[in-house]
Structure 1
Amino acid sequence: MSLDTPRPEVRPERMAAHEALQRLAHERNARLTQLRAIGEAGPDADEQVMSAQEDTVRSVLGQVEEAVARVQEGGYGLCQGCSRPIPVERLEILPYTRFCVSCRRAGA
């Protein structure tokens, strides 16, 4: 291999705790912002749609809080279905996920 050839990026098997906490803090802040926006919706807002959106945002916020607890307990990044590491790429996209893709597809 030549020195000019870029090396493929080596991805760690597990995400570092500080990086996970940063991503989860970002997710938490985004969901709190969404909840504030829902709360500030004017009288013309469709109440049923706003209620459904609020329920969804609160659910995701709960998942974020659970993921923070898993970081603190040392179980973050391990699939709760098969106990194997969740790929870092999946955690980068969905930092609060509890399952690897295979277990999620299997209905875990």
Structure 2
Amino acid sequence: MTDDVHAVLAAKRAELEAEIAVLTAPSGDLGGIGFGKRVGEGTALAVERLSQVAAHDRLRALHADVLRAQAKADDGTYGVCDGCGEPIAADRLEALPWATRCITCQARRA
């Protein structure tokens, strides 16, 4: 199981790092965003950039979870909740291999 977990987490980490790289790559448009009385190209560009920032933040948080799960797999504590120290349900780990908290502790954290 440990090799499977390592492989799944490594694949997810690589996927996230590739997505983050795409979002953080410089865009070809370095001009300013203009806002006028009408919704136009500048407004659409601003909305797109805000969406990219939100996606980037979600990806970075998920990346941190994957890194934490990898560290737990390396030190032998994978599957143990960071909050209460109890085992994380197998169904949860199957659905989210990077989960580091049981459902109860995750609900308290959110």
The one of 36, 42, 49 aligned to 2:21: 36
**Larger Cα-atom Rg:** 2
TM (norm. structure 2) is 0.70
Whole-Å separation in 2 of the counterparts to 1:106 and 1:48: 28
Matching residue within 82, 95, 98 for 1:93: 95
Q: Which of the numbers 76, 79, 82 marks the counterpart of 1:77?
A: 79
Deviation at 1:90, TM superposition (A): 0.8
Residue type matched to 1:37 in 2? Answer: V
Alpha-carbon distance between aligned partners in 2 of 1:72 and 1:65, rounded to the nearest angstrom: 11
Which structure shows the bigger proportion of residues in helix conformation? Answer: 2
Relative to the length of structure 1, the TM-score reads: 0.71
> Closer, same or farther in 2 for the Cα pair 1:106/1:39, shift >3 Å?
closer
**CA shift digits 1:68-99 (9 cap, x unpaired):** 11111111110122212112221121111111
Q: Post-superposition shift, 1:55?
A: 1.6
Residues in 1 aligned to 2:63 and 2:90: alpha-carbon distance in whole angstroms: 21
Calculate percent identity across the aligned residue pairs: 29
Q: Give 1:105's aligned residue.
A: 107
The match for 2:68 is 66
